[in-house]
Chain A
Amino acid sequence: MATVVRIPLQEGLVAPWTDWQRRCPDGRRLLEAGTYALTEGAIAAGCRVFAGYPITPATDIAEYMSKRLPQVGGYYMQCEDELAGMHTCAGASLGGLKAMTATSGPGYTLMHDAYGWSLTNEIPLVVVDAMRVGPISGITGAPGQGEFYVARYCTHGGNFETIVLSPSSVQEAFWLTIDAFNLAERFRTPVTILTDQVVSDMWEDLFIPADYGALDFVVPRKHNLMMPFYPLNSADLDVPPNVIGHGTGVCVSAYTHTEEGYDIEDMEAQWAQTYRLVNKIRHHRAELTRYEAIGLDDAEVVAVAYGANARTVKTGVLEARQRGVKAGFIRPITLWPFIDELFERDCHYVVCELNYDGQLVREVARAAADKNKVHFMGKSAELHTVAEVVAGLDGVARRGRVPELPYIWTEVR
């Protein structure tokens, strides 16, 4: 049954959008926020429905969508709550329209039921979770990374895999949103984009193509009009999504189901459906590989970060190199399925996360060649400063541990 997929480790940015800008030279350069980029990326990918509920720091996406969608013949729905928001997105996608919602932690929590429904029925969707800092609702206007595990285990029942991506710049947010829609179509699944308050709200240089209709890298919506509606015991990619409204007779529900979609309660069906939901992602991890890596040829201590704080951490790595530390940098862009291969080199890792309870660090420790060489620099409410990162890398390189720094959490139990 097992199909072993190995991801080779490369230097530089590994992502499908490295040549997308070259493929659409006509465009404009703007100074815009991450939320603007996420919205335009969705429109460029063909999104025609947004259904959600305003919540800081994702509210601007709702507002932009309310303005842009009618211009392109789409629909903005402001639902009564996030529960309704994601269910309405699922319904719209099931009816044939690409759909997206955007929220923050408290709303993402409310979407778990709908997420599960969409996962098990293989409905393409994009969900943006612009994380704030915890505990729980924490500080409305500060960056955090508390939903790393929640995004993977975003619904009940187990027996599924999830796809989670995270951009770290405004430009990357634009391309990555298109990529998220593409993956949603190809894998027939909801895809979570984890951003944070900084990536969502900061303003940066943004190139957007002039003609969205001419983007040859956008995967268009197709309809599956024939049985099997759910190809059980199959890990096939690029199966078109099912559609309601074309008289196919498809059944859609959250129960373990047959190929036709009605509920069935035996063990064989449980295996068959799980096989599909898990392996369609696991067997195609190569299609899901996105990361950035620097200095890995000779790095002795590698800083690991994603999202907003990856910016300052990367600068810290380059600064440390200047000071003679053999530092490297890994920025996972695909957070789930987790790319274990990124951490197979036997060296030290310093995981810089915007939380104190330690989440990404646990996965790195699990995947690393030697978990005793995995160090934690947790911070909350502010990004890691370059000085802190340099001190951490330097400390590990010279004395094998991160030094005591104010408001940097180093324990993981």
Chain B
Amino acid sequence: MNKLAAKYLRPSQIPTKACHGCGIGMIENWLLQAIDEMGLKQEDVIFGTGIGCVGRQTFATWGGDNFGATHGRALAVATGLKLAQPHKKYLIVVGDGDAASIGTSHLIHAARRNLGVTVICEDNMGYESTGGQFSPTTPAGYVTNSSPYGMVEPGFDPCDVVKAAGATFVAETTATQWHQTVKIVKKALANDGFSFVHVRFPCNENFGAYALGTRDTLKNLEWIYEHTQGRKADGSETDFTWETGIKHDASNSRPEFTSLLRAMNERVQADVAAKAAEAAAKSAIAGDKGRDDGHGKH
């Protein structure tokens, strides 16, 4: 395997369970580059994921500490971990199902709190692990496993959701933008706050089969490329274009959530100590045992 994989990944889990032509492994390769270029060691990074393709095909590939939470709840687990281990870098790698569907509530609140984690939302525009049903990011009108007459529901962009909720770094790339993704992930990791990087990638097995009419790996990645550029190979316009790049960068402009809690604790404990000293001084003057606040020496 390549040098960065040998440095950071768990050999028993490579090759991964991902299908041939799946974009998950590519993106993971770029994450490793970002981690390596920032000088981070395996023990500095905690890798968390969820369920679905992005969950199952990345879980346990990271050689360091990692977790695969229940569906949609990776950020809830990460919140608890960040309380206990605030000085690690958290890479929460989840799919469009985990982030933009079942787990959107936790996404919003983690962004609102400015929890110091980096969420990589790898989006294959459907629930591909269960066969290719549509998801909130499936393009309008597309045929999928559960929208045989075309997707009726309007979709949304999770970038808009987290930006509105208060995320301090929001960016979007696709699976044909490796250099941008590496650069953007480095910025995301450097933000001591909530970073959200949305990366769209191809699924040739399910999305390709139903929505694009082909499982050809090259055609599926070309489709991603075309919708990144806004132009097909023959020069004609695509039906839509993704807006890629950094969408919002307020890195390090707001306090990270757990740092606020630690600061509060310091104030509270200083206050408690001051009151105890005052009470002790008073009782020394009064000459009796004194009364504390009812909690003893806790």
A–B direct touch in complex (beta carbons closer than 8 A): yes
Task: Say yes or no: is B170 at the interface (Cβ < 8 Å to chain A).
Answer: no
Of the stretches A6-14, A82-90, A391-399, the one at the interface is A82-90
Cα separation A70 to B268 with both chains bound (whole Å): 6
A80 interface residue (CB < 8 Å to B) = yes
CB neighbours of A97 from chain B (8 A): 83-84
Q: What residues of B have a CB within 8 angstroms of the CB of A87 in the complex?
A: 69-70, 73, 76-77, 79-80
Q: Which residue of B lies closest to A245 (CB)?
A: B85
Tell me if B269 counts as interface (CB < 8 A to partner A).
yes
Chain A residues within 8 Å of B106, by CB? 80, 84
Q: Mark A62-96, 1 if CB is under 8 A from B, else 0.
A: 00000010111111010111011101111111111
Query: Would B77 and A262 count as touching, CB distance under 8 A?
Result: no
Q: Which residues of B contact A93 (CB under 8 A)?
A: 80, 84
Contact between chains at A94 and B296 (CB < 8 Å): no
Contact A245 B77 (CB under 8 A): no
Interface residues in B33-81 by Cβ distance below 8 A to A read 42-43, 46, 56, 59-60, 63-71, 73, 76-81
What residues on B are CB-neighbors of A113 within 8 Å?
70-71, 73
A30 touches B81 (CB 8 A): no
Judge whether B85 and A96 touch: CB under 8 Å: yes
Which residue of B is nearest A250, CB measured? B65
**A241 nearest CB across to chain B (Å):** 12
Residue B294, interface by CB 8 Å: yes
Query: Interface size (A, Cβ < 8 Å)?
Result: 59
A27 at interface (Cβ–Cβ under 8 A)?
yes
Nearest B-chain residue to A51, judged by Cβ: B80
In the complex, A261→B294 CA distance in Å? 45
Contact with B along A217-249 (1 / 0, CB 8 A): 000000000000000000000000000111111
A26 to chain B, nearest CB (A): 8
Of residues 248 through 298 on chain B, the ones whose CB sits less than 8 Å from some CB of chain A are 258, 261, 264-265, 268-269, 272, 294-298
For B296, give its contact among A27, A72, A114, A244 (CB under 8 Å).
A27
Q: Which residues of the other chain, B, contact A30 by a CB distance below 8 angstroms?
A: 294
CB–CB B84/A80 < 8 A: no
| Cβ distance B52 to chain A, nearest Cβ, rounded Å | 13
A151 at the interface (CB under 8 A from B): no
Taking the nearest CB of chain A, how far is it from the CB of B262, in angstroms?
Answer: 9
A128, CB-defined interface residue at 8 Å? no
Interchain CB contact under 8 A, A252 and B66: yes
Task: Provide the residues of chain A in CB contact with B64, threshold 8 Å.
Answer: 247, 249
Task: Output the residue of B42, B264, B296 with the most chain A CB within 10 A.
Answer: B296
- Is B238 interfacial (CB-CB < 8 Å)? no
Q: Is the interface of A mostly helix, strand, loop or mixed?
A: mixed
Contacts of B268 in A (CB 8 A): 70-71
Alpha-carbon gap, A213 to B69, bound state (A):
34
CA distance A352 to B59 in the complex (A): 48
- The complex places the Cα of A210 from the Cα of B293 at a distance, in Å, of 12
List residues of chain B with CB within 8 A of the CB of A212. Answer: 296-298
Contacts A28-B294, A210-B296 given: A249-B63 contact, CB under 8 Å? yes
Q: Is B2 an interface residue (CB 8 A)?
A: no
Partner of A95, one of B66, B70, B83: B83
Tell me which of A43, A75, A90, A260 contacts B77 (CB under 8 A): A90
User: Which of chain A's residues 246-265 have a Cβ closer than 8 Å to chain B?
Assistant: 246-255, 260-263
Chain A residues whose C-beta falls within 8 Å of the C-beta of B12 in the assembled complex: 260, 262
**Residues of B with C-beta under 8 A to A117:** 69-70, 73
A389 to B60, CA, bound (A): 57
Q: Is the CB of A263 within 8 A of B105?
A: no
B79 touches A84 (CB 8 A): yes
Cβ 8 A contact of A71, one of B13, B66, B261, B298: B298
**Contact A114–B73 (Cβ < 8 Å):** yes
Question: Of B10, B42, B76, B296, which is in contact with the most chain A CB atoms at under 10 Å from its CB?
Answer: B76
Interface pair B65/A248, CB less than 8 Å apart:
yes
Q: Which residues of A contact B81 (CB under 8 A)?
A: 91-92, 94-95, 244-245
Complex partner residue of A70 from B59, B76, B269, CB under 8 angstroms: B269
Instruction: Return B250 CB to nearest CB of chain A, in Å.
Output: 22
Task: Flag if B46 contacts A245 (CB, 8 Å).
Answer: yes
The answer to whether A251 and B84 have CB atoms under 8 Å apart is: no
Alpha-carbon distance between A363 and B293 when the two chains are bound, in angstroms: 46
Least CB distance from B87 to A in Å reads: 9
Q: Which of B71, B78, B269 contacts A91 (CB 8 A)?
A: B78
Q: Across the two chains, which residue of chain B brings its CB closest to A73?
A: B265
Contact across chains for A90 and B80 when beta carbons are under 8 A apart = yes
Residue of A nearest to B112 (CB): A80
Cβ of B232 under 8 Å from chain A? no
* Contact assessment for A249 and B10 in the assembled complex, using a CB-CB cutoff below 8 Å: yes
In contact, B297 and A255 (Cβ under 8 angstroms): no
CB of B88 closer than 8 Å to a CB of A: yes
CA distance A28 to B289 in the complex (A): 14
Which residue of chain A has the shortest Cβ distance to B105 in the bound complex? A80
Measured CA separation A79–B73 after assembly (Å): 12
Whether A89 lies near B80 (C-beta < 8 A) is yes
| A37 lies within 8 A of chain B by Cβ | no
Q: What is the minimal beta-carbon distance from B58 to any residue of chain A, in angstroms?
A: 11
Asked if B109 is at the interface of the complex by the 8 Å CB criterion, the answer is: yes
Our pick among A28, A43, A71, A92 for the contact of B272 (Cβ within 8 Å) is: A71
Whether the pair B70, A49 counts as a contact (CB closer than 8 A) is no
Q: Are A244 and B67 in contact (CB under 8 A)?
A: yes
Minimal Cβ-Cβ distance residue in B for A248: B65
**Given the contacts A28-B294, A70-B269, A114-B70, A88 and B65 also touching, CB distance less than 8 Å:** no
Given contacts A90-B77, A90-B80, A113-B70, contact A244 B59 (CB under 8 A): no
- Are A251 and B298 in contact, with the CB atoms below 8 A? no
Task: Find the A residue at minimum CB distance from B271.
Answer: A71
Q: List 23 A-B contacts (CB under 8 A).
A: A72-B298, A75-B258, A77-B83, A79-B109, A84-B73, A85-B76, A88-B83, A91-B79, A91-B84, A93-B84, A94-B80, A95-B84, A113-B73, A117-B73, A210-B296, A210-B297, A245-B65, A245-B84, A247-B42, A251-B67, A252-B67, A253-B68, A262-B12
Starting from the known contacts A71-B268, A71-B272, A263-B68, 12 additional A-B residue pairs (CB-CB under 8 Å) come to A70-B265, A75-B265, A87-B77, A89-B80, A95-B82, A244-B46, A245-B81, A245-B85, A247-B42, A250-B66, A251-B67, A253-B60
Could you tell me which B residues sit within 8 Å of A by CB distance? Answer: 10, 12-13, 42-43, 46, 56, 59-60, 63-71, 73, 76-85, 88, 105-106, 108-109, 258, 261, 264-265, 268-269, 272, 294-298
